[in-house]
Structure 1
């Protein structure tokens, strides 16, 4: 699926301010890195073209829904203290986008849908100064927790027959400046770490669980 990529600046007050130029650069870089990565995965990966498909509206909804789903998994499944009652059963991982996703015409014949969602907020000068002031205050025993920058991403594989989320990789402190090609390559490498796939020549990949 088309990756959901949000890039912008973190204001002094911590608000996200989107930057269209940075987002366009990041999208181009990440798509290029994904194309190169598919050779290593040993799978046949077909980019979803919303414009050609004619069902872009519903596809975009699912792409955005994945971001909310992944965030919920991180919050309510990965951390035991916040785990929902229905997710407390041992070895239970029961999350998904619902079976309706298989009704998207362009996905007919595909086995799985790969979703990617990333957000990068680069700290503004004001935010960095505020963070520096926080460090200075803490040196004098005044607790001030100010961070500069947000870099998080999710990659997930959805079974198109059931809508179930069968694999998820999430990181709330990702590396790689997605505005640069080498940074985007690093980001994609992190997002697809442990991705289930066939063994490609000269590569060792993990098997589906």
Structure 2
């Protein structure tokens, strides 16, 4: 096969990908954007009325939505910063040759493999206000003042959930950064 035929062949392989991308991403995004300008009260779209920007004004002026947006930004900022910092620390530490390097890499990466449902159930049980193992351990150690309502206190819950997210995905970030560190030639370190 000539070089020109290979080039044409590779373009024809891109066509199905573009069709699927348009079918599953572009069209739903455009339809969703169009529907956001309508008032729809039921699944009968014939009764839909044009709302203009009213739906966006209602959402952005709702105090509950403002809190949700604020919490989303807090969660994203806290988890991103902590996952990158902790992942980099672990990657630099585990980039060295030690006897336990492979074992520690596995231990730190293991939470990323766990099911999110299982992690949620485990941490819900651990952070229960009265029967959770964290509060029981704090009370047993005489640190009653540190026992908290980890998942029900509005000011603390976002950080508790962020901690769980960081615990689960720091190992994954570590693996990605470790791969980058290992691809750097040794002569740059000298």
Q: TM-score, normalised by structure 2?
A: 0.25
Larger radius of gyration: 2
Greater strand percent: which structure?
Answer: 1
TM-score using structure 1 length: 0.23
Which has the larger helix fraction?
Answer: 2
